[in-house]
Amino acid sequence: MFTKNSHRAAVIFVIVFLLAAGCGAGTPTAASVPTTASLSEVQGQVDILNPGEGDYSPAADGMTLQVEGQVATGDDGRLRLDLSSGTVIRLASGTIFTLVSNDPQPEGLLTRIKLEAGRMWIALNGGSMDVETPAGLASVRGSNMMVWVDPVFLNVYVYCFEGNCGAENPSGSVGMSTGGGALLYHFETGGNPPPPVTYTLSWQHFQEWVDNNPEAGNIMPSIAQTLTAIPQFTPTFTSTPTETPTATPTATATPSCFTLLSPADGASLPGLGEVTFSWSAQPGAAGYRLTIVSPRGAVNSFATTATSSTRYIENFQLGGVYTWSVAALDAAGAPLCIAGPFTFVKDESPTPSIPFGSGNATFLSELGPTATLSQCGNEYFAVTVVDPNGVQNATVRYQVVGGTSGSFPLSPTSTSQWSAWYSTSDFYGQAVQWWFVVVDGAGNLETSGNIFSFTCGN
């Protein structure tokens, strides 16, 4: 039966329909233009899978990736993706990438992508982008960012090269600007990971960015002033007027610079044991900073007043080609000159275990640095723990954010307390996470599950 109410409803429907038709006659909105990505500079093994296709097929220049489409690069694969929005994304080897969506927002276009493995560099052309990873969400707004999924631990590193970036997981969120980085720890679904940790990028990170993104050479001059505030950032990048601009770091010039001695350039090193890095003395130097860069771009720096530094090579877990250099520092910590880099090749080291036992140990107290320290020096670590089986030994294990891991022993001061003073000078300007590990009388590894963190020298 056609009633007054149904008549009113019909009139409203006609008005809404006419309004919608009138809006559609104008300029299309962002939502009406589907996002796609054009493939170019395809090298090595690269495969593509678009919606509706049964399996991956070899990719080639000129192909188009659709929304919900996926690209996978092999061990020797890499490519460039040009999104229809003007954003450029470059994928390294061993990467699995999915183009999820492109949605208009009040503040601009929001592009969503998924990175399951590998490494990607983003040059955003306006709007913002969210990157879903195994360890949380990375975001970038109108700027340049890199996201890397560590293939060993599935932790995620976010490098903010220019503009504003962010990182978040269920435990918190952080923001970064030019020269900032963040670490997202991998966690199981429903788990409670540590909150994201921030740190400062080094010039090696920027050099890697330029090496893998020719377009970056055009951006470096505009952010050079910001980069001079980054600790140890003395090189300047200059682009050459070529078809694909490049950039080269040059250290502050001095009449003469010291030389690296050992390991020799191109040396082959084992996956386990101590390795001593040595160099000649630099006149006027108050100290030195050894910097080692892994095959994946992780940068590890160690301060010393000597002309050598001995490291446990297994703390650099990945196998492959590493670079190392040494900066001579004046009394204020500013570089006088930089020697190197040299390279060395090492075997893959055994994967370190980070146990979180669920036995009978009771941790009564845990003491150690948990804040930003103005200076790096001797710090006191102590744990009070009881266990029905007794405690055989106790150690502190640590992980430098974006760098090496290691441990040092504690000494018993009573039947339940273990402690030690430990120098943090090797961690200058870096974020360090640490935790206590004990071995009970039955040989079980035990921890409280608490992870602490500190930085020093900033």
Per-residue pLDDT, averaged over 8-15, amounts to 38
Q: d(Cα 260, Cα 203) in Å, to the nearest integer?
A: 19
Phi, psi of 222 (to 5 degrees): -75, -20
pLDDT over 60 (residue 20): no
241-256 pLDDT tens trace: 333 333 333 333 334 6
Token pair for 317: 């877990």
On the 0-12 / 13-18 / 19+ scale of CB atoms within 10 A, 347 is middle
Of 203-207, 249-253, 402-406, which gets the smallest average pLDDT? 249-253
Per-residue pLDDT at 408? 85
Handedness of CA 313, 317, 321, 322 (dihedral sign): negative
Is 31 or 116 the better-scoring residue by pLDDT?
116
Pairing of strands 452-456, 372-373: parallel
pLDDT over 70 (residue 86): yes
Per-residue pLDDT at 307? 93
pLDDT over 90 (residue 58): yes
Token pair for 262: 């050992």
In 134-171, at which residue ranges do the beta strands (DSSP E only) sit? 136-149, 156-169
Per-residue pLDDT at 351? 47
Per-residue pLDDT, averaged over 14-23, amounts to 38
On the 0-12 / 13-18 / 19+ scale of CB atoms within 10 A, 273 is exposed
- Averaged pLDDT score across all residues of the chain: 76
121-132 pLDDT tens trace: 998 887 788 999
pLDDT confidence band for 352 (50 / 70 / 90) = very low
On the 0-12 / 13-18 / 19+ scale of CB atoms within 10 A, 253 is exposed
What structural domains and CATH numbers belong to the chain? 30-217 (2.60.120.1440), 260-346 (2.60.40.10), 362-456 (2.60.40.10)
273-308 pLDDT tens trace: 778 899 999 998 998 888 887 776 666 677 788 999
Q: At what angle do helices 220-227 and 203-212 cross, to 10 degrees?
A: 170
